[in-house]
Amino acid sequence: NAGVTQTPKFRVLKTGQSMTLLCAQDMNHEYMYWYRQDPGMGLRLIHYSVGEGTTAKGEVPDGYNVSRLKKQNFLLGLESAAPSQTSVYFCASSRMSYEQYFGPGTRLTVT
Amino acid sequence: AQKITQTQPGMFVQEKEAVTLDCTYDTSDPSYGLFWYKQPSSGEMIFLIYQGSYDQQNATEGRYSLNFQKARKSANLVISASQLGDSAMYFCAMKGDYGQNFVFGPGTRLSVLP
């Protein structure tokens, strides 16, 4: 039982490049979330999904897109990376209003 | 809109003593949940404790307890008998039962002194 996994763990991008972060969970959770964590600002919600095929915007969605084609996977895409997107990205999953289970995080640097 | 405030950027506590980490919240949802997470220096987020807004008793999980004062909109985390391994960032979060957003506070960095 792996819980929530994230791929990759680290990545360095040049400005303008694109990439996709993959989140996978094996707990059959309906809800999945993408957050970014920046120093002194806690976690900010980027996008979330309440079920397969559905996504919604969070607090800071600009510059990101997401897809949830399978219940267990939630993808976060950066179409044209910017230095402001340098951050640690966390994926999480949960059953409805219960606690979230987090992945280990992806450290992204955009130069 | 929901908001979480944690007014203590950093806290120090002596080993074996108790410490309270403050959390206040704002929401218009009639029903909601409050959560505390721990983030050690290794970076992972660890769920600690949950309090439902209609729960009559304060939640407890081992050395963690949540001092829930609904009228004051506060949900403080109490850690008893602090250990060196408790040194970490602590985040308060909330979620309305009728929405999907989790909202996190900025966190409090706790340092336990030997």
Q: Is the pLDDT of residue A1 over 80?
A: no
Chain segment A49-93, per-residue pLDDT in tens: 999 999 999 989 999 999 999 999 999 999 999 999 999 999 999
Per-residue pLDDT tens over the stretch B17-48: 999 999 999 998 888 999 999 999 999 999 99
Q: Is the pLDDT at B2 greater than 90, yes or no? A: no
Q: Report which residue type is found at A55.
A: T
CA A18 to the chain's CA centroid? 15
What is the percentage of chain A residues whose pLDDT exceeds 90? 88
Q: What's the CA gap between A53 and A32, in Å, rounded?
A: 12
Q: What is the dihedral of CA A5, A11, A16, A17, to 10 degrees?
A: -70
Confidence of residue A97 (pLDDT cuts 50, 70, 90): low
Q: How far is the alpha carbon of A7 from chain B, nearest alpha carbon, in Å?
A: 15
Q: B25 CB near a chain A CB, below 8 Å?
A: no
Q: Could you tell me the two tokens for B24?
A: 């206040």
Q: Where are the beta strands (DSSP E) in A26-105?
A: 31-37, 43-51, 54-57, 64-67, 73-78, 87-94, 101-102
**Residue in B43, B47, B104 closest to A42 by CB:** B104
- Looking at the complex, does the CB of residue A89 fall below 8 Å from at least one CB of chain B? no
**At CA B25, angle to CA B22 and CA B30, rounded to 5?**
140
| Model confidence pLDDT, tens digit, residues B103-112 | 999 999 999 9
* Residue B32, strand partner residues: B96
Q: How far is CA B56 from CA A86, B46, B77, in A?
A: 43, 25, 17
Other beta carbons less than 10 A from residue A60's beta carbon: 17
Average pLDDT taken over every residue of chain B: 94
- Give the number of other CB atoms < 10 A from CB of residue A56: 13
